[in-house]
Amino acid sequence: MKLLIVQTAFLGDQILTTPFIRAVKKNSPDSFLAYLTTPVGAEALANNPNIDEYIIFDKHGKDKGITSLLSIAKQIRKKRFNIAFLPHRSFRSGLLAYLAGIPERIGYKPAPGSIFYTRKVKRDPRKHEILRIMQLLSVFGLETDTPPSPELFPSDKDISIAQNFMQAHSLSGKRIAGFAPGSVWRTKRYPEEGYIELGRLLIRKPLVDALVIVGGEGDYSLCQRIASGIGKSAFVFAKAGSILATFALMKNLLFLVSNDSAPGHIASAAGIPVVSIFGPTVPEFGFAPVGEKNIIVQPKNLPCRPCAPHGGMHCPKGHFLCMKSITPQRIFYTIEKNLLKNFL
């Protein structure tokens, strides 16, 4: 049996798909399992022992356009997959599986690409995204009610990068927390001055000895500004290594403060508590990090939220109260009361 999972969504979605990958392989241990994904997805999910082959689909880069789609579909057709799972509901993913001639194509009802599916599973909007993805296995009579934790697999090089960073900044043995201030969507970003003030409060108390500001290469300037604003006890780990090196570094943190974005899921996979700041979006969308020790911080009684499934690039109302109304002091006292005293 040859199985294909098609997941070309954002980084956070890739990480939330890892429990499904594990479940598929456990259900069919002798099957060949391939994972079709973006370059970022392949980087994040590298070294996964449940994946037998990675197929890269650079949909926003060199594979953009119908000609590339047809070419990749032709390549996949030659591999003769029996079943395709489609956790990403896009029209393009469904079309790709159809053009590849995969006889059984399992996806959600409703979905933009559902016209191309042979078996359709009802997607429950009330459930966590991990459980919604796991619903695709319901066609085989398999389901779970508890969201399994995501998992990532750093290489020895990734672990070494993290260890070298710790040594270079004399962080070993210290109480370290992390900030992840970036997001693709601007309205999901807690204001950088808020992160600066929160960092100063955590260091001044002191609840932690040092802070590590993490992010992708595109977040480097933002991370640098926040670290400079906090002072000499803050260090930047952006540009320093891969997604999996960031994951390896997070294993050394007491907790991570993150926006509603992928780093929260990376921290969840690392097994550390996540303090998630939700502004334009809400946890009920199903994308909060998984973990009993996690904390959600969000505005109170704000009628204009949620404003969009992904937030947005600009506040539709122009006031950005969903983030500005959350004070650094409130986040600080929430951490002090509910996290450090109870769990650490």
* Average of per-residue pLDDT values in the chain: 94
| The token pair that represents 328 in the structure block | 């650094």
Q: Say whether pLDDT at 343 is over 60.
A: no
Mutual orientation of helices 328-335 and 192-204 as an angle, nearest 10°? 40
Q: Is residue 291 part of a domain?
A: yes
Q: Is the same domain home to 134 and 15?
A: yes
pLDDT digits (tens, 9 = 90+) for 35-87: 999 999 999 999 999 999 999 999 888 888 899 999 999 999 999 999 999 99
> Both 209 and 330 in a single domain?
yes
Tell me 191's DSSP state. Answer: P
**Whose structure tokens read 């995204």?**
129
Per-residue confidence (pLDDT) for residue 344, from 0 to 100:
52
Looking at the structure, tell me whether residues 96 and 125 fall in a common domain: yes
Q: In sequence order, which ranges of 28-128 are alpha helices (DSSP H)?
A: 39-44, 66-79, 91-99
**The domain that contains 276 carries what CATH number?**
3.40.50.2000
Residue with tokens 């697999």: 153
Are residue 243 and residue 128 in the same domain, yes or no? no
Q: What is the pLDDT of residue 154?
A: 97
Does residue 73 lie within any of the structural domains? yes
Do 230 and 282 lie in one domain? The reply is yes
189-209: pLDDT as tens digits: 999 999 999 999 999 988 999
Three-state SS annotation for 139-158: HHCCCCCCCCCCCCCCCHHH
pLDDT at 269: 97
Q: Identify which of 117, 155, 147, 123 has the alpha carbon closest to the alpha carbon of residue 136.
A: 123
Q: What is the pTM of this model?
A: 0.94
Please give the residue range of the domain that contains residue 105.
2-140
